[in-house]
Amino acid sequence: MLEQRDTNFLGIDLGRGQLVNAPPSYTLMALRPHVYQLRDATGAPYSHSPDGTRDFSLKRSSWGELSCLALKRFPEIAPSSEDFAAVPRLLHFICNDRTTLDPAFAANIAQTSALNPGWELRLWDEAARFQFISDHYGWDVLKIYLMIGAEYGAAKADFFRYLLIYRLGGVYLDLKSSTSRPLDAIIRPNDEFLLSQWNMSGSNLHAGWGLGASIAHVKGGEYQQWFLIARPGHPYLRRVIQLVMTKILTYRAEVHGAGAVTTFNITGPHAYTKAIHPVRERFAHRVFDSETDGLIYSRIESHRERSGSTYRSARTTLVTGNDSYLI
pLDDT digits (tens, 9 = 90+) for 244-302: 999 999 888 887 888 888 899 999 999 999 999 999 999 999 999 999 999 999 998 77
CA distance 11 to 116: 47
- Is residue 6, in this structure, part of any structural domain at all? no
pLDDT reported for residue 164:
98
- In this prediction, residues 190-200 reach a mean pLDDT of 96
- Is residue 38, in this structure, part of any structural domain at all? yes
125 with 257, same domain? yes
169 with 37, same domain? no
Domain holding 201, by residue range, is 90-325
pLDDT reported for residue 254:
82
Count of structural domains within the chain: 2
pLDDT reported for residue 304:
64
55 with 95, same domain? no
> Residue 226 above 70 pLDDT?
yes
CA distance 270 to 294: 24
Q: What angle do CA 178, 182, 185 make, to 5 degrees?
A: 125
55 with 111, same domain? no
- Whole-model pTM: value is 0.86
- Is residue 176, in this structure, part of any structural domain at all? yes
